[in-house]
Structure 1
Amino acid sequence: MQILIRTDASTKIGSGHVMRCLTLADMLKEKGAKIYFVCREMEGHLCELIETKGYQCFRTFNVKQTFDQKQDAMETLHLIEINGLKVDLIIADHYQIDEQWEQVVRKAAPKVMVIDDLANRRHDCDLLLDQNYFNKFETRYDGLVPAKCRKLLGLKYLLLRPEFYEDNITEENTNESVADVLVFYGGSDSTNETLKVLDALNLVDVTSLTFHVVVGSSNSNREIIELRCRERNYHFYVQINYLAQLMRTVDLALGAGGVTMWERCFLGIPSIVTVVADNQRESTEAAADAGAIWNLGWHECVEKEDLVDIINRAIEDPNGLKEMTKKAKQLMQSDIKYKTHPVVEAIMEILGHGDGFYVPKN
């Protein structure tokens, strides 16, 4: 069973697409699938990271500012052909790809899967995954995918790495005060939120707090951030592979919307969230409406003073943090575990390998 994943990362795009695809690749690999990636070599690409994870990454040089779907699709077909691949499934996780690209690459694979969360364009696919939570999320893709397409929608299908399920803490947080705080705004942090938080912390009494500041390898300000952390005795981490373990040690987090927001919710970590991309707006608002996070809103409107105010409020309200922990875990259904992830089960089924792979374990 051969599966090809088409996705990208860059300083502008961020690392989220690649990271969730790597999570899915690892799950599929456990089922015996051979996984290949196709990525563009843009500034901040993660091709080497993909390769260190044990996957072959074919590099395309379609790096024009204006993305050409037809050219990219033809180049993907060419890479499949010259490498002698017999692809059973092509997975596309890319905001610039729609039915035009998907119709072309169908020449090389019987099945196509799309990972999306924008619901703003048509797809020609057999399986669509949108792992986010929105108001009325069940109907977001009506009219955008073929009638035959199976839709995997909602937090049930969230692609969490295995370490998030290991020894998951399902009890309420019993800490009486905030002691450890996580600061992580994604791999690239293209809007520079980490430095904004560090500026705000200069105005907060942090003598009783321990800060853990995490950045990705594609963060262009990582050296400046490291220096600032060293000056303030904050713990500093780059591209770590034990984020879930670190998350379990903290009482409060500051970060962006998107997948990492749901990861924090899954572990019941009270979060102060800044929206750094358009595709995060709706889901962040929905999570805030459910009481699972604090939503500071669009990053350009978040000032240093806003961060100072919310951090102080969080520190002074441990009971509010406990309630947020409870609501976050309820939203995520964190007590439910799967023998096989439901996304993997759906993929196995459309490829003819279903039959009992998906067994909920309470």
Structure 2
Amino acid sequence: MKVLIRADASPTIGSGHIARCLTLARELRRQGAHVAFACRLLAGHRLQALEAEGFETLSLPDSYPGEDPQQAIESLLPWQADIEALEHVLADRPGFDWIIVDHYGLDHHWQTAARRFAPRIMAVDDLATRTYSVDLLLNQNLSGTQAVYEGLLPEHCRTLLGPRYALLREEFRCEAIEIKPKVKRVIVNFGGFDAAMQTHHAMLALADYPGLEVDFVAGADNPAWARMQRMAASRPHWRLHSFVGQFHQLMLEADLFIGAGGGTSWERAAMGLPTICIAVSNNQRANGDVMATFGAHVYLGPRETVTVEQLRQAIGFVVDNQCLRQSLAEHSRRLVDRLGASRVAVALAGALLRVRPATQADARLLFEGRNAEAVRRVSLDHSVVDWDRHCQWLQASLVNSQRLLLVGEAADGPVGVLRYDLQDSEALVSIYLFENRLGLGWGRALLARGEAFATAHWPQLRSFTAQILPANQASLALFRQAGFSQGTCVFTRVLKDEIDE
């Protein structure tokens, strides 16, 4: 699978778009994909860092004709110029399977035009304020619900909504931090650029708490950098960092985080790190509100409305309140299970999933897959199948014209198994995934590919039926999502309206 990511970084845009796309790119590469980044040469671009990680990078111009260099982060770019720039750097090279666009300035016009480079487009979004022309949309925020996208998406578009799909780096798959009786160590970070100088405001608020050890993480391009250096120099318990190679380690050692409401929200949630949050851009406000309602952080509001004194009071309220911090940690940890990047990568790879008829050479693969404890637990037959019995069953299945046995394969190996048993114009379907594929969304792609294969193999098919145990909640949800209607533990999908008579 070949993926092109279109995202930018600058003091105005921030670095969050590149950061979360980089997390996804690492996961895609781990699953066998080739990933390239196309970024503009704006001040603060991250092309060298992406190259250092071994990703292909494509440089786009730093300015386009008619573009206002001071335009707001959510203002639209001249999309035709951006497409022309892409055409130039992509000339004479093969196309991509997917384009991922994480950019507030590129709307449905750009997304439609970009299909000349790839047949499938995915958008990473926080706004839900404009029309989209995409096949897959990711909004990892609690505020990203199906209702807010009503009328904005094409009918065929699949949505990945909520922190179940949060793009968390590998190091945040960790145990919760310890909640101590009193806060001793604080970390402050408002993104890679912090053009609004919120780190400096936090310094002013924390000046009245000399007993706290504080790590301030802010790029050297921060407009208040010189002032922050002077303040930190006179306080031995303060450390000002322009770059941190092990940011998550600072977070692990902290008792309180003060920062913005961007992608770091989910890193903090994964660790159960109590947080005082201030939204530094419009796209962070809705999620800040909803997370506060959920009890996952203390949200003070948008930066324009938060004074240094209000932040100082909030710090004083939180540092001595262990019960509050314990509650924040527990509520935030419930939001994420740290598998979001894998799920998003599977949604992309699933579109290219291949199914093939099983062969005798698959005997060991199917034997171990069927006997896995997690598979047996939700099967109609819980018993362990012995090897001789399995080989007899497989041999009989392969010569049975009324049975279709399929293996699903991704770029990095087998995914799962489908079995269809034909009865007149109906097929009974059963499915299982291999243990290392569970809980990531492979089942949906496998069912879709299998259905297409089965209907081509048996043109007389008019419906599929599946029998699911009531306790098998994952399969119940899977078949509902796949368009099956539920009876009493029986799911049916009718095809007669989808096949020409």
Same fold at TM > 0.5: yes
User: Which of 77, 84, 88 pairs up with 2:97?
Assistant: 88
User: Which of 183, 191, 206 pairs up with 2:188?
Assistant: 183
Q: Which residue of 2 aligns with 1:153?
A: 161
Query: Does residue 134 of structure 2 align to residue 125 of structure 1?
Result: yes
Q: Give the Cα–Cα distance (whole angstroms) in 1 for the partners of residues 311 and 341 of structure 2.
A: 40
Query: Does residue 439 of structure 2 align to residue 360 of structure 1?
Result: yes
Equivalent residue letter for 2:181: E
Q: Which residue of 2 aligns with 1:326?
A: 330
Quote how far apart the aligned CAs of 1:307 are: 1.3
Q: Which residue of 2 aligns with 1:225?
A: 228
Quote how far apart the aligned CAs of 1:2 are: 1.6
Mapping 1:54-133, distance limit 5 Å:
54-63=54-63, 64-65=67-68, 67-82=77-92, 84-133=93-142
Q: Which residue of 2 aligns with 1:237?
A: 241
Quote how far apart the aligned CAs of 1:273 are: 0.7
Q: Which residue of 2 aligns with 1:313?
A: 317
Decide which moves more: 156-165 or 143-152. 143-152
Q: Which residue of 1 aligns with 2:175?
A: 169
Quote how far apart the aligned CAs of 1:226 are: 3.5
Mapping 1:278-297, distance limit 5 Å:
278-297=282-301
Quote how far apart the aligned CAs of 1:338 are: 4.1
Quote how far apart the aligned CAs of 1:348 are: 0.6
Decide which moves more: 309-318 or 210-219. 210-219
Q: TM-score, normalised by structure 1?
A: 0.91
Q: What secondary structure does 2:268 align onto?
A: helix
Q: Give the Cα–Cα distance (whole angstroms) in 1 for the partners of residues 61 and 321 of structure 2.
A: 51
Q: Which residue of 1 aligns with 2:493?
A: none
Label 1:237 to 1:114 Cα distance change in 2 as closer, same or farther (>3 A): same
Quote how far apart the aligned CAs of 1:129 are: 0.6
Decide which moves more: 40-49 or 117-126. 40-49
Structure number with the bigger relative contact order (C-alpha 8 A, sep ≥ 6) is 1
Q: What secondary structure does 1:297 align onto?
A: strand
User: Which of 193, 199, 209 pairs up with 1:194?
Assistant: 199
Instruction: Assess if the C-alpha contact under 8 Å between 1:341 and 1:358 holds in 2.
Output: no
In structure 2, the gaps of 5 or more residues are: 72-76, 355-409, 417-435, 441-501
Instruction: Assess if the C-alpha contact under 8 Å between 1:114 and 1:128 holds in 2.
Output: yes
Equivalent residue letter for 1:317: N
Label 1:232 to 1:339 Cα distance change in 2 as closer, same or farther (>3 A): closer
Query: Does residue 281 of structure 2 align to residue 257 of structure 1?
Result: no
Deviations 1:261-310 (CA, angstroms, capped at 9, x unpaired): 22112211111111110011110000111111111111111111111111
Equivalent residue letter for 2:125: D
Instruction: Assess if the C-alpha contact under 8 Å between 1:7 and 1:92 holds in 2.
Output: yes
Q: Give the Cα–Cα distance (whole angstroms) in 2 for the partners of residues 199 and 309 of structure 1.
A: 12
Q: What secondary structure does 2:35 align onto?
A: strand
Quote how far apart the aligned CAs of 1:239 are: 3.1
Instruction: Assess if the C-alpha contact under 8 Å between 1:11 and 1:45 holds in 2.
Output: no
Quote how far apart the aligned CAs of 1:133 are: 0.6
Quote how far apart the aligned CAs of 1:345 are: 0.7
Deviations 1:83-122 (CA, angstroms, capped at 9, x unpaired): x243111110000111100111101211111111101111
The structure with the largest alpha-carbon Rg is: 2
Equivalent residue letter for 2:195: S
Equivalent residue letter for 1:133: L
Q: What is the aligned length? A: 351
Q: What secondary structure does 1:206 align onto?
A: coil
Decide which moves more: 215-224 or 347-356. 215-224
